[in-house]
Structure formats: C-alpha cells, structure tokens
C-alpha cells in the first residue's frame, strides 16, 4: 500500500492483477516503482491545484526541503477533507486507467 501525505492509497485491484502476472519479484518491483511515480505526479498535481498559483514555487521548494511533512498542507491552507476526497476519486480513476492499459 502506498502513502501520500499520510493518506493510505489502496490499489487492491492492481495488487491482485500484479500477483497473477508471471513476473519475477524484481519485475513486479519495477512495475510498482512506475506506479509510484505516476501516483506521485498525479497527487502532486491535485495538491498544487489547492495551493494558490502565486505560491506554487514556494510550495515545491518547501516540499524539497522538508519532504512529505503534512504540516506543509496547513502552511498553505490546503483543505484536507477536500483534498482527501479528490485524491480518492482521482486515484481510483488512475487505477482504472493503469488496469486498462495493462489489459491491452
């Protein structure tokens, strides 16, 4: 299970799909690394949509400096409940997209 800013991300259908694939552990790890990168990019885009445009540069710099400390969300006034709902919806959709690509 992946986490992002303390939010647990559930990709159970993707996990089940990967378990059924005849891949080595190294190949599965590589797939999960790709998924992790895609998730991170999609989630950061959602967070940046919650941060005022003129503060994006500062947000990214602070994120580099303090990594994934949840206090950065409070600092920039990000509404956590709204963000969590957006993340759930977007990442559920992302899991569907990834499964669709893998099934073709």
- Express each pLDDT in 27-75 by its tens digit: 989 988 998 888 888 888 888 888 888 988 988 888 777 766 667 777 7
- Hey, what's the torsion of the CAs at 49, 2, 12, 100, to 10 degrees? 50
pLDDT of residue 37: 87
pLDDT of residue 1: 42
What residues contact 19, with CB distance under 8 A and at least 6 apart?
none
| Residue 55, both tokens | 């503060």
pLDDT of residue 81 exceeding 70? yes
pLDDT of residue 2: 47
Q: Confidence class of residue 100 from pLDDT cuts 50, 70 and 90? A: very high
pTM score: 0.72
């Amino acid at each position: 299970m992946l986490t992002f800013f303390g939010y647990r991300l559930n990709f159970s259908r993707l996990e089940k799909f990967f378990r059924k694939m005849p891949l080595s552990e190294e190949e599965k790890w590589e797939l999960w690394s790709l998924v992790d990168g895609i998730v991170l990019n999609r989630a950061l885009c959602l967070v940046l949509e919650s941060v005022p445009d003129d503060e994006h540069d500062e947000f990214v710099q602070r994120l580099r400096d303090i990594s994934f400390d949840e206090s950065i969300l409070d600092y920039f006034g990000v509404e956590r409940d709204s963000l969590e709902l957006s993340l759930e919806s977007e990442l559920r959709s992302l899991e569907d997209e990834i499964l669709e690509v893998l099934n073709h």
